[in-house]
Amino acid sequence: MKASSYYHSQKLVPYVFVLPFLISIAVFYVYPIIGTIIMSFQQVVPGQTHFIGLANYKRVISSDFLTALKNSSIYTLLTILILVPGPIILAVLLSKGPSHMNNALRAAFFIPSLVSVVVAGTLFRLMFAANGKAVVNAMLAWFGLKPVDWILGGARQAMFLMVLVAVWRWTGVNIIYFLAGLQAIPEDLYDAAAIDGAGPLNKFFHITLPLLRPTIIFVTTISIFGGFAMFEESYVLWQGVSPNNFGLTIVWLIYQKGFQLGDMGTASAIGLVLMVIVFTLSLSVLNLFGFFKREE
């Protein structure tokens, strides 16, 4: 076969179109993962590196990792419990009624996701400041309640703030996902159920929820990723210094070890442990929803 005809062959064209994607995956994903795995077994100092075996993983256990893992796990669990059922209910409500009002509400819910993390964190930090003139404490004063130190008051207040920021920012995005899932459900099913005497609750639990299962799996999975990857919100809320590690997350700990303390080996080990945790939880969620079960 001549070179010109080979370059115009149908066998080569698909590989040409796929090649940029494969190169980007190799450069931005595969190479960093391999580098991180190697670095997790090394002590990295300026100008030299040498292998130290499993010493970095031993440091992970002896560091603040367990505190960060606890904070990230609670944060992820709470965001899933709020950001999956809540948007489902809101999406069902927004799919009914006047279109103009629904469009306005959809925009209102979605706008917070367009706000940058730094702006959102700064906004909530000012609203929940410890002084009595801050917005939230001023509202508490109307009901005769004492001001609360939301930022430095304790672990519960810290977790409340982090979850509140997540709910404010991502409720609208999840509503969009579930609205798209609702549009894929045939109206004939609801009409047939209405003829059989099914009420709104029966339709919701026996038609809407089962047919929304793929969307629920997707939203739950990305919520796991987002929960354990959370960093900017807590970092901005506490301006880089979290007293008693109230707002410390796993990614914040990676940043702390790798960039603030210069211990890239331990940071790489923490990152790999985080990857294993997220991967295991994601597979567990998929298995829980029967994703791997074969239909008979």
- What are the pLDDT digits (tens) for 82-95? 999 999 999 998 88
Q: What residue type is 267 in one-letter code?
A: A
pLDDT score of 251 = 93
Residue 149 phi, psi dihedral angles, 5° rounding: -85, 90
**Three-point CA angle 226, 232, 238, nearest 5°:** 130
| pLDDT exceeds 90 at position 195 | no
CA-CA distance, 212 to 41, in Å (whole number)? 44
pLDDT score of 137 = 86
Tens-digit pLDDT profile for residues 107-147: 889 999 888 888 888 889 889 887 777 888 888 888 888 88
CA-CA distance, 271 to 223, in Å (whole number)? 18
Inter-residue contact 67 to 245 (CB < 8 Å): yes
Inter-residue contact 170 to 246 (CB < 8 Å): no
| pLDDT exceeds 70 at position 1 | no
**Three-point CA angle 56, 60, 164, nearest 5°:** 140
| pLDDT exceeds 90 at position 72 | yes
CA-CA distance, 119 to 129, in Å (whole number)? 15
| pLDDT exceeds 70 at position 257 | yes
Band the pLDDT of 274: cuts 50, 70, 90. very high
Structural domains for the chain: 57-288 (1.10.3720.10)
pLDDT score of 291 = 66
Please name the helix (run of DSSP H) or strand (run of DSSP E) that holds residue 50, with its range, or none: strand 48-51
For residue 46, the SS3 value is coil
Share of the chain above pLDDT 70, in %: 93
- Shortest CA distance to 220 belongs to which of 294, 120, 287, 169? 287
The pTM of this model reads 0.87
CA-CA distance, 238 to 158, in Å (whole number)? 9
Inter-residue contact 234 to 79 (CB < 8 Å): no
Share of the chain above pLDDT 90, in %: 36
